[in-house]
Amino acid sequence: MADPDKTEPPSPEDDAPRATDAGDAPRHAGDEIARVLQAHDVPALYTLCGGHISPILHGAKRAGIRVVDTRHEAAAVFAADATARLTGTVGVAAVTAGPGVTNAVTPLENARLAQSPLLLFGGAAATVLAGRGALQDIDHVAAVRPHVKWAGRVARVAELVPTVRRAMAEAKRGTPGPVFLEVPVDLLYPPDVVRSWYLEQVKGRSVGARALELYLRGHLKLMFAGFDRTPDPSPLPVVPLEADRGDVRRAAAYLAKARRPVVLVGSPAVADPAAIADVCTALRALGAPVYLSGMARGTLGAEDPLLMRHGRSKTLREADCVVLVGVPCDFRLGYGASIPRRTPVVSIHWDRKALFLNRRPTVPIHADPARTFVAVVEELPAVAERFAPFVAAVRARDEARERELDEIAASDPPDGLHPVAVFRAMDRHLDATSTLVADGGDFVGTASYVLRPRGPLRWLDPGVFGTLGVGGGFALGAKLARAGDTVWTVYGDGSVGYSLAEFDTYVRHGVGVIAVVGNDACWSQIAREQVEILRDPVGTELRHTHYHEVAAAFGGEGIRVERREELDGAFERALEAARAGRPALVDVRIARTDFRKGSLSI
């Protein structure tokens, strides 16, 4: 048997055939991928280019799908994640082989833990060269499998459309999450081009050369079998998890007996944009105090009387029934200890593990959180009037804390602005079109406490993984998903370093977003407790770097703020730039405070 290692196609990083127009090139497998993406209403494909995946990008462009290239693979996957969260469609990204895929592992794990549906295409070495030392050749599926719901690879054109359809369905089926599909480089390029890669290198009359040629011809015939067919690219059915009617009635019975119920709503409750209006109607019909977390922030707007923002732990201790709608008992609820053991808990989650994490609910319901919560409320008689005294008491505490924040915002620390003052000013410039992206630690923690998203799906944070570096990609995906929105990214001066280069991406693609950087020359969330306990700031000190100058060097609008009276003018200037399609960065010198003392999570 001849050894296929005796021949080798040109590296995909070498000059491949190019066309001056997306429509000029011959048909290839990238077009087949694009047909599936079109059928699934995918609005954009995010990427960092590489020869292994060029036909995927070309096919998407030729099909009218916007191709957006970033400066780091992580940003491309984060952008796909944001698209999924805001639109309800599967976000899609493509990265080249080897380090392209490994650079995407962190955003894949972030999406898995945030239960966000996205599909990542990974390039791979040619089929006959896998495992033989080809450029950027690793076992991608083994590398990413722990971080995705499903991972697969294709080796023949006939498998491509069915497998991409399956991948899109797997991303949304049951508990949503990321999926990965490896596609070898020689499968993607036009068949005639690939044949030339292989066969022109095995010309000869020796027995070995002829045997190798016969082997390669057979391999190519199998690989491209079915290339002339056009299989159905339409979406496969994805059926939501339905709740058991008995569980729904049991949950309603506990609420019917309650006098002081509390509802906690998390990201899974707003994963389907079409269901959010029904969730809001149900929350208002129930009439209990509501605390929102994660992507659910903003679901009730900024001023709803049921919306509570402060003192959640105290309210939970007073409750006689707690309803968790897509909220696990993880560190954010003290691993379940924030809710007294005597208190009945109704928990609704599509993730069975999350449903029982750290604490067994009184009524566990393994089902779609949004639709199930609506069904529970529909089982109830009118109860809002009975809960009104409890709502009034919790609201009074909430309003008292807001007055305290006003006093804090009015303070003038000697070494910079108080973060609360920054966000009080920023909040005045938010409107119904404002989408907020959170990327950081201490500064962003203050933002989540002070800023008030004006509507559903107006807040994007990494989720339970707490990943720094989401900002560049999240803002990109958010702005392209909602072109008419104003997208604000809140950065700490530590986290901005991860994706500051994406200002180049924004400028090249005409994406007018606003970044607000809290600059205290420190990793404050870590330093505060570290210095107190260990008496050493090692590894936590930064410089008062002028990040606005970096943004300006990339072609954006750079703005520096050092005094309170400069804030409103700076935000107005940033808004003006964003409206013109130019990104802006507002670098605010902030003071180091003890406002979030004790916030270190372990």
- What CATH number is attached to the domain comprising 465? 3.40.50.970
Predicted pLDDT at 15:
42
Residue after which a domain boundary falls, among 223, 257, 275:
223
| Whether residues 434 and 312 fall in one domain | no
- Tracing tokens 């779609």 back to the chain, one arrives at 368
| Whether residues 43 and 184 fall in one domain | yes
Show the beta-strand stretches assigned E in 420-485: 434-439, 459-460
> In angstroms, rounded to a whole number, what is the distance separating the alpha carbons of residues 567 and 177?
39
| Whether residues 217 and 320 fall in one domain | no
The pLDDT tens digits of the residues spanning 106-158 come to 999 999 999 999 999 999 988 777 777 777 778 999 999 999 999 999 999 99
Predicted pLDDT at 580:
96
Residue 602 inside a domain? The answer is no
| Whether residues 202 and 80 fall in one domain | yes
| Whether residues 129 and 271 fall in one domain | no
| Whether residues 194 and 96 fall in one domain | yes
Residue after which a domain boundary falls, among 348, 363, 395:
395
The pLDDT tens digits of the residues spanning 460-518 come to 999 999 999 999 999 999 999 999 999 999 999 999 999 999 999 999 999 999 999 99
Residue 18 inside a domain? The answer is yes
Predicted pLDDT at 4:
38
| Whether residues 389 and 416 fall in one domain | no
| Whether residues 191 and 49 fall in one domain | yes
DSSP code at position 538: T
Strands 486-492 and 514-519: parallel
> In angstroms, rounded to a whole number, what is the distance separating the alpha carbons of residues 315 and 333?
13
In total, how many domains does the chain have?
A: 3
Task: Mark 509-532 as b/e (b = at least 16 C-beta within 10 Å).
Answer: bebbbbbbbbbbbbbbbbbbebee
Q: Which CATH number belongs to the domain containing residue 307 in this structure?
A: 3.40.50.1220
Residue 342 inside a domain? The answer is yes
| Whether residues 190 and 256 fall in one domain | no
Residue 174 inside a domain? The answer is yes
- Domain limits at 314? 245-395
Closest CA to 325 of 275, 270, 278, 284: 270
3-state secondary structure 72-120: CHHHHHHHHHHHHHHHCCCEEEEECCCHHHHCCHHHHHHHHHHCCCEEE
- For 5, 418, 461, the CA distances from 436, given in Å and listed in that order, are 52, 20, 9
> In angstroms, rounded to a whole number, what is the distance separating the alpha carbons of residues 174 and 162?
20
Residue 231 inside a domain? The answer is no
**Helix (H/G/I), strand (E/B), else coil: 222:** helix
What stretches in the chain show pLDDT beneath 70?
1-23, 204-205, 599-602
The pLDDT tens digits of the residues spanning 319-346 come to 999 999 999 999 999 999 999 999 999 9
Residue 229 inside a domain? The answer is no
Predicted pLDDT at 17:
42
| Whether residues 172 and 317 fall in one domain | no
Predicted pLDDT at 21:
59
Record the tokens describing residue 402, joined without a space: 């807001």
**Helix (H/G/I), strand (E/B), else coil: 307:** strand
Residue 325 inside a domain? The answer is yes
| Whether residues 94 and 139 fall in one domain | yes
Residue 596 inside a domain? The answer is no
| Whether residues 414 and 508 fall in one domain | yes
